[in-house]
Amino acid sequence: MYIYVNGQYIRKEEAVISPFDHGYLYGLGVFETFRTYKCHPFLLDDHLERLNKGLQELGIMKEFHRNEVMEIIGRLVELNGLPDSYIRFNVSAGIGEIGLQTAPYDGPTIIMFQKSLAPTQPNQEKEAVIVSIPRNTPETIHRLKSHHFFNNVAAKREIGSDTQKEGIFLTKEGFLAEGITSNLFWVQDDVLYTPSLETGILNGITRKWLITMAKRLGINLQEDLFSASALNVAQEIFFTNSIQEIVPVYKLGKKLFPGKEGKLYQKFHKEYKKCVNTHWSIEGL
C-alpha cells in the first residue's frame, strides 16, 4: 500500500515522522476521514473547510484547496487501485523545539493514506450502549477533529471490540452528546432530534448533511440539550459518520428499534446514496 507523506508517495512500511514533531509530542494536529466513491471524494470541500479552520486555530500555517488534494487522492487511487476507499488526511504541526511553542508552525507534516472499502456496504445495524465515562469538553470553544482522542479510546474500551456496538457519550451534566466515532440522531412522532453543538460535540460533516437534508425534505428538526431518557421514547435511533454513513440502531438496553426498517432512516439513506458520486459540498444539495 502506498501512502503520501510530505510530497512523496512511498510504501507504508517506509513512512517515518520525526520524534520532535509537535503532533507527536503535544498532540497538535487535525485530521479528516472521508470516503471515495468511484474515485469521487464525497463532500471533500466541507472536509477541507473544517480541516483548514482547525489548522488556523492550532497556528499551523497551511491551507488546503480542492485541486491540490485531488491531485494527491488521484495519485493514491492510481497507485493502490482503490477507487472506493476510506481516506485519512492528517496534518500535524511539524518539527519544533522541546517546549510549548507560541509562534506559528510553518512546516507541517502532511500524510494521506487509503484503506480498502467495498463499493457498497450493507446497512449494518448496531446496538447502542450508553457509556459511563463522560464526554470530555473541547480544548477551546469548538471541538476540533484533533489528535486528542483518548476520551474516545477509553469509551471504546468500555464497550469492547464488538464492531456491532456503538457507545453514546453523555456530558458531565448528563445530557446526550454523541457516539464514540459518530453523531447521534433519533426520531419521536416524526420529529428528528439531535444534540446541540452546545454540548461540545464535533460538528460532523455527515451530521451537517443530514440536518440540511431534513430541512430540504420538510422534516421538523430539534437541536437542543436532551437527557438520556429522551431515547426511551424514541421510535428510531441512528448514528452518522463519514465512513459508515448513516447507521441504524436496532437495540438500546432492553428496547428494540426498527433499525434499517425505520421510516426516516430509509428516507435519509436513499437521499444519501443519490449524492455520493457527485457532490463536493453540502451547499450543492
Tell me, what CATH number does 75's domain have? 3.30.470.10
Q: What is the pLDDT of residue 117?
A: 85
Same domain, 193 and 60: no
Task: State pLDDT tens for residues 69-106.
Answer: 999 999 999 999 999 999 999 999 999 999 999 999 99
Altogether, the residues listed in the chain come to a count of: 285
Percent of the chain residues topping a pLDDT of 90: 96
Is pLDDT of 121 > 90? no
Tally of domains within the chain: 2
Task: Calculate mean pLDDT across residues 266-280.
Answer: 96
Q: Determine contact, residues 40/277, Cβ cutoff 8 Å.
A: yes
Same domain, 182 and 207: yes
Same domain, 273 and 133: yes
Domain of residue 196, CATH code: 3.20.10.10
Residue 109 phi, psi dihedral angles, 5° rounding: -95, 120
Print the domain residue range for 101: 2-116
Residue 121 lies in a domain: no
Same domain, 250 and 170: yes
Same domain, 279 and 237: yes
| 54: exposed, middle or buried (Cβ count in 10 Å: 0-12, 13-18, 19+) | buried
